[in-house]
Amino acid sequence: MRSEPRGNALRETLDAGEAAFGVLDNVYSPTVVELLGELGFDFVWVDYEHAGPSPWDADDMADMLRAADASDTELLVRIPDADPSLVRKALDAGVRNLFVSRVETAAEAETVVEAARFTHDGEPGTRGMAGPRAAKWGAVSDYPATEDRETVVGVTVETVAGVENIDSILDVPELGFVFVGPNDLSVSLGHPGEVSHPEVEDAVETVRSAAEAAGVPVGNLTFGMEDVHAKVDEGDQLLNVGSATGAIRGQLGDWHARYREE
């Protein structure tokens, strides 16, 4: 029996030019993914660069993806480097929205996008053909065309070299989005943690304006509701609005102090 593939609501939102809002699940919990989906967020970001289980653990990814499916949200997975084998592994596990850390050249971006596609820019891609979870173990009709249509692959630009090469990175065909990394940019520019430093803000704007001119959606971090509205007004589309640990800390971090005051 043939099976219909699941669509990608996040791709549809980006294609429509609308903003998508998500939260970083930095406790790597399927329960948190499901809860955030029930709260109405468009995506849940799972970052395998800075912490968490191995990005090679397809079973772990599958559990997170099942939680996303159960609550009608999309999982946005970041992997630590542009290893095409890791790109293919994540997509075969069922990831449809993937991006890569610290991309600095068009060649790196091209490698990632090619690894994610069966056909790339009218030529053969380098994604492998199999019957994995992404294909519902061989049951999806027209699997290669469906995956190429529904998969969104982006890059993170978060170093001086990436900013310097942004125009050539954006020229890579079928690049799904570019995510700006102000935290790492602050390090690369010599101002660690100073995301509001003028040099950091100028670098972020260089990436944002170049992406807007190239018609490539922009992802970004946000720092409060006023900042969310400002970035939506600027045209950013993929916006992270908080994290699981940040929410816990914000709710309970000063609990003992408040208790002692009352």
The catalytic residues are: 50
Is residue 84 within 8 A of residue 126, CB to CB? The reply is yes
Distance, CA of 43 to CA of 12 (rounded, Å) = 12
**Quick one: DSSP state of residue 140?**
B
Measured CA angle at 220 (ends 194, 250), to 5 deg: 70
Residue of 15, 32, 26 lying closest to 53 (CA atoms): 26
Q: Which amino acid is at 8?
A: N
Q: Which has the closest alpha carbon to 175: 151, 153, 150, 206?
A: 153
Contacts of 82 (CB under 8 A, 6+ apart): 100, 103, 108, 109, 111, 112
Best CA proximity match to 90, nearest among 151, 44, 144, 138: 151
Q: Which residue has the tokens 């940040």?
A: 246
CA distance 158 to 140: 37
